[in-house]
Amino acid sequence: MSIGMLNKKGIVITRPRAQTEDLVAMLEQRGARPLLFPAIQIEAPENWQSVDHALHSLPQMDWAIFSSRNAVAHALSRAHSLGLEWPQGPRVAAVGRETAKALGEFGIQVDLVPRNFSSEGLLESAELPAVQGRRIVLFAGDQGRELLELTLTQRGAAVEKAFCYRRTIPGSNPTPLLHAWARGELDAVTVTSPEIFNNFFQLVGGLGQRWLKRTPIIAISPLTAQAVTAVGLPTPWVAPEASNDGILAALESWAQSLQETTS
């Protein structure tokens, strides 16, 4: 890891503010200047019916799959408020390392984390093809991908989906960000989901969209990168894995290429 390569680089973080602490610390350790501009807001679901039913059904489940850290936080906080302990029954799968870490913080042992941190990676894992007749609960948010639910159902599993949170667009004021762009203080933008990118693209307006054409974008996954190119922007740098470490590695690859270009 090249310490100092990101020194004085202004890096926009578009995650919800509550989820930026680790990445901010990693960037600051390398001398970067993180700029927070949350492009998505995570809120409790309008009702807890599907989550409550899933939590009470856990002892009869074969697998519990968590699609994100948000799903972990909301589902397990809800379980705590209902006075429910995590049962011994189901095996637990997390879509990625960050999600598994969040589960560990709640004291839950994770049985399966895919090598490729994605829904596709989870479906490719050796444990999940043979799910005929198995009962699976999927803890996820609204507006999320249906790939896991559909594929596991096609494989013969009975899948119950628990909607743990909903995504909304925050009322972020883009003016300070646009001013930073104009002053040359904004060097790269990180985006960690297609929804976050699309919200960011909308929030910054026409002027910001023009700046984006000349600003390197770091996407956490190929799926997120597709959202970037779909609006006509240049191909972004893609993290080698969907994690903070992956984002940092992609940022350093970009910075290294910039250094080689200007040297």
> pLDDT tens digits, residue range 182-225?
999 999 999 999 999 999 999 999 999 999 999 999 999 999 99
Q: What is the pLDDT of residue 169?
A: 92
CA distance 152 to 130: 9
pLDDT tens digits along 97-144: 989 999 999 999 999 999 888 888 889 988 887 889 999 999 999 876
Model pTM score: 0.83
Residue 1 has pLDDT above 50, yes or no: no
Query: Token pair for residue 164?
Result: 């743990």
How high is the mean pLDDT of the chain? 92
Q: What is the pLDDT of residue 3?
A: 54
Residue 175 has pLDDT above 60, yes or no: yes
Which CATH code is given to the segment(s) 10-40+170-262? 3.40.50.10090
Give the dihedral sign, CA 207/210/215/221: positive
Q: What is the pLDDT of residue 128?
A: 81
Q: What is the pLDDT of residue 95?
A: 93
112 beta partners: 93
Q: What is the pLDDT of residue 262?
A: 65
Query: Token pair for residue 99?
Result: 């999600």
DSSP assignment, residue 5? T
Q: What is the pLDDT of residue 263?
A: 55
Q: Which residues contact 249 (CB under 8 A, 6 or more apart)?
A: 239, 240, 241
Residue 77 has pLDDT above 70, yes or no: yes
Q: What is the pLDDT of residue 2?
A: 46
Beta strands in the chain (DSSP E): 10-13, 33-36, 41-43, 63-66, 91-94, 135-141, 158-168, 188-191, 217-219, 237-238
C-alpha torsion 47→49→51→54, nearest 10? -170
Residue 29 has pLDDT above 90, yes or no: yes
**Among the ranges given (7-16, 21-30, 74-83, 112-121), the one the predictor scored with the smallest mean pLDDT:** 112-121
- Which amino acid, 74? H
For the chain, give every residue range classified as CATH 3.40.50.10090: 10-40+170-262, 43-168
140 beta partners: 163
What is the CATH class of 43-168? alpha beta
Mean pLDDT value across residues 252-257: 93
Mean pLDDT value across residues 248-253: 95
Phi-psi category of residue 134: left, alpha or beta, with phi > 0 → left and psi -120 to 50 → alpha: beta
Residue with tokens 């740098």: 237
193-219 b/e with 16+ CB inside 10 Å = b? bbbbbbbbbebbeeebeebbeebbbbb
